[in-house]
Structures are given as structure tokens and as C-alpha cells.
Amino acid sequence: MPRLRAADEVSNEMLVALLRNMLLQRAVDTRGFQLNRQGKIGIAMGSEGHEAVQAGAGMAFVRGHDVLYPYYRNTGILLACGFELAGVFRSQFARATDTTGGRSIINHVTDKAKGIASISSIIASQCTHAVGAAYAIQYRGERNRAVLCTFGEGATSEGEWHESVNFAAIHKVPIVFLCENNQWAISTHISKQMGNPNIAERAQGYGFEGVRVDGFDPVAVYLAVKRAREKAAAGGGPTLVEAVCYRFLSHTTDDDERTYRTREEVAQQRENDPVPRFERRLIDDGVLTAEYIEAMRQEVTTLVNETTDMVENEPPPAAETLYTNVYAGPTEPWV
Ligand SMILES: Cc1ncc(C[n+]2csc(CCOP(=O)(O)OP(=O)(O)O)c2C)c(N)n1
């Protein structure tokens, strides 16, 4: 896997934005696990180890044009695509102000104006929805618009995933499939999931391009997703981008990763932790100083603290709304 250096198309401002998003993701992750252990929220999902993938992919998403079909581990992409930080906590605390009115399990947030569709807990079901949205964009003859669809490597074992990529390939719809390969699907290691662990190679079997990138490198992910996105938006059809990363925390706060993997494996992966690795790179390249990064970490922590406090004080859903939205009302198209 080539480790791409910051190319001309990545300015210093963009490098700083990537780092800030990565620091924010980590602070949000840490807070989620803390809030759960304090008994304040029912469950949290950690994306620690996915920060580079999500910051890079979110930067390639063109706001006001593209549509995101994320999965549950995508707090970072949501934030990078412009989703409000308070909205993440409103979902965690199940407040009335949450986009589902405090009804759904965490991270099932949505923001139609920003092109952010809701995730689904049903693995790979967002892929069929995403391909449908991409087909609609193509059918209407819209240009400079693409869909970003994300999932874990475990999702690629689902029939719905195969049906989605096959349909996308046949009709050359404007979509980027992004696989966040963290090597574990809860307790199932990738070696027990597929005979060929190279997920990007699967694209070839369907007749389109697959690209494998270092998912600990936000610049590599950004460049790969950006190119795939440009190709899709120009009518060149789908690309499968596989970003190889790792999940450092348990699958959720309901899981204990110590029961199925060795401490040595986790420690070895930690050596490549994308956050300190990217910090070192920016310092070595003279983009930022260590002091600047510390100030940024502090700013992000303060923001997360203040947002947590604000949302914690917001009201829960009113009892009278218990049956609201149980049955679907009038619907309108998503894209
Ligand atoms: C259709 C379906 N099967 C099983 C589950 C239970 N489940 C929830 S998360 C998960 C693991 C998915 O792993 P992966 O796609 O690799 O994503 P990761 O959580 O590792 O980011 C499973 C099996 C589910 N939600 N939906």
C-alpha cells in the first residue's frame, strides 16, 4: 500500500482540517464510552482507529451536491460532512431534539439538507438504498453529484452488498463504495469471513475498479475517495475503495473485545494509531507545531464538554409523543 505524501491538491489548511476532525472524533468516542459507563446513555459505538478513513472520506464529500449513506460507525464522517456535533449527542442521550425525536438507537441520525441519509442497523441494507439514490441521480441526468456509501468488511458477506455492487456496475451509477476494513466484525475475524481478505479485488469480479489504501493515512483516503468521486460524478461509474484500518475499542460498549483477540495484536496495531501518526507527520513536515496541536486538542475537548453539558440538559421526548411516527406518514423522495 503506497503511503501518499501530501500532494499539491492537499493544502496546509486541509491537512489541519483533517487533523481537527480526527481529534474531534476521538474526543467524541471517548465521551461516548464515558457517558455509557456513567449510566447516562444506553450504548456507545467507538470508531477509534477509523479516524483517518472518516476524516479523509468526509473531506472528499462535496457538500450541497453529494449524498451520504453511512453505517453505524460513522460519527467521524457525519461530522466531516457537516453534521452538527450537538446532533451526535442528542442521539446518544435520546433527547427530544434528536433527529429521530429520541426514538432510535444511537447514531441513526439524518440531515436531509446536508445530504446525510440515516444509517440502518441492518448490515449492508444502506447499500441498496445508496445505489437506488445513485440510480435516481443518473436517471435525472444530474451532473457533478455522487453518492458515498460506507460499510465494514463484514458487510461484504451480505447478499444485499453483492446485489448493490452488481447493480451499480451494470448501470454505471455515480457511487463510491467505501469499505472500512477494521478486520473484525464484532468477534469474527476477517480470516473467518472470507477466503480472499483483499476486498478491493472483489470489484474486479463485478467489472469495475477497486482501490486499496492505507486507512491510517487520511491524505491517502482523501485522494482515493476524491478521485473515485470525481470519476463517478463524471459518469465513469462506481469504484470500491477499501481503507485498511483497525478497531481499537470494543465493537460497542456492550461488547468486550478482550474475549476474542490478543493484547499483542491490539498493541501491535496501536503502534500505527492514526492520530499520533498524523500529528507526527504534520510536525515533521513543518505544517504544525506540537504546541499548536495541543491547543487544538484542548479546544476540541472544551467543545465536546460544553456540547455534552448543553445536550444533557435538553428535555427527553414527551410521553404524549409515544405513538408519534409509529406509522409512516406522507413520504417524499430523498434525493
Ligand atoms: C443483517 C445483520 N446481520 C447481523 C447483524 C449483527 N451485527 C451488528 S454489527 C455486526 C458486525 C459488522 O461488522 P463490519 O461490517 O465489519 O463493521 P464494523 O462493525 O466492524 O465496523 C453484526 C454482525 C446485523 N446488525 N444485521
Give pLDDT, residue 334: 66
Q: How far apart are CA 62 and CA 316, in angstroms?
A: 34
* Cell (9 digits) for 21: 476532525
Q: How far apart are CA 335 and CA 123, in angstroms?
A: 22
For residue 296, is pLDDT > 90? yes
- Positive or negative, the Cα torsion across 131, 133, 138, 142? negative
Give pLDDT, residue 104: 85
| Distance from the alpha carbon of residue 309 to the mean position of ligand 1, in angstroms | 31
On average, the pLDDT of the chain sits at 94
Confidence of residue 325 (pLDDT cuts 50, 70, 90): confident
For residue 4, is pLDDT > 60? no
| Distance from the alpha carbon of residue 152 to the mean position of ligand 1, in angstroms | 8
Q: Which is higher by pLDDT, 48 or 9?
A: 48
| Distance from the alpha carbon of residue 16 to the mean position of ligand 1, in angstroms | 32
| Distance from the alpha carbon of residue 110 to the mean position of ligand 1, in angstroms | 20
Confidence of residue 3 (pLDDT cuts 50, 70, 90): very low
Domains, the chain, in order of start with CATH, read 20-310 (3.40.50.970)
* pLDDT tens column, 197-206: 999 999 999 9
For residue 328, is pLDDT > 70? yes
Are the beta carbons of 54 and 18 closer than 8 angstroms? no
**Across the strands, what pairs with 243?**
180, 213
* pLDDT tens column, 139-186: 999 989 999 999 999 999 999 999 999 999 999 999 999 999 999 999
- Positive or negative, the Cα torsion across 181, 183, 187, 193? positive
* Closest CA to ligand 1's atom 6: 123
* pLDDT tens column, 31-47: 999 999 999 999 999 89
Q: Give percent above pLDDT 70 in the chain.
A: 97
* Closest CA to ligand 1's atom 13: 185
Best residue among 45, 106, 184, 186 to mutate for probing ligand 1's pocket (most ligand atoms within 8 Å of CB) is 186
Q: Is 119 in the pocket of ligand 1 (CB under 6 A)?
A: no
Q: Which amino acid is at 56?
A: G
For residue 8, is pLDDT > 80? no
For residue 1, is pLDDT > 70? no
For residue 75, is pLDDT > 50? yes
Confidence of residue 74 (pLDDT cuts 50, 70, 90): very high
Q: Is 204 in the pocket of ligand 1 (CB under 6 A)?
A: no
For residue 86, is pLDDT > 90? yes
Query: Once rounded to an integer, what is the mean pLDDT over residues 230-248?
Result: 98
Give pLDDT, residue 2: 37
Question: Among 187, 167, 110, 164, which Cα is nearest to 179's?
Answer: 164
> Which DSSP symbol is given to 119?
P
pTM: 0.95
Give pLDDT, residue 180: 98
Please list, in sequence order, all residues whose beta carbon lies within 8 angstroms of the beta carbon of residue 172, skipping any fewer than 6 positions away.
Answer: 138, 235, 236, 237, 238
Q: How far apart are CA 301 and CA 89, in angstroms?
A: 14
Confidence of residue 7 (pLDDT cuts 50, 70, 90): low
* Closest CA to ligand 1's atom 4: 123
* Cell (9 digits) for 150: 460506507
Task: Count the Cβ atoms, other than its own, within 10 Å of residue 305.
Answer: 12
For residue 283, is pLDDT > 70? yes
* Cell (9 digits) for 44: 456507545
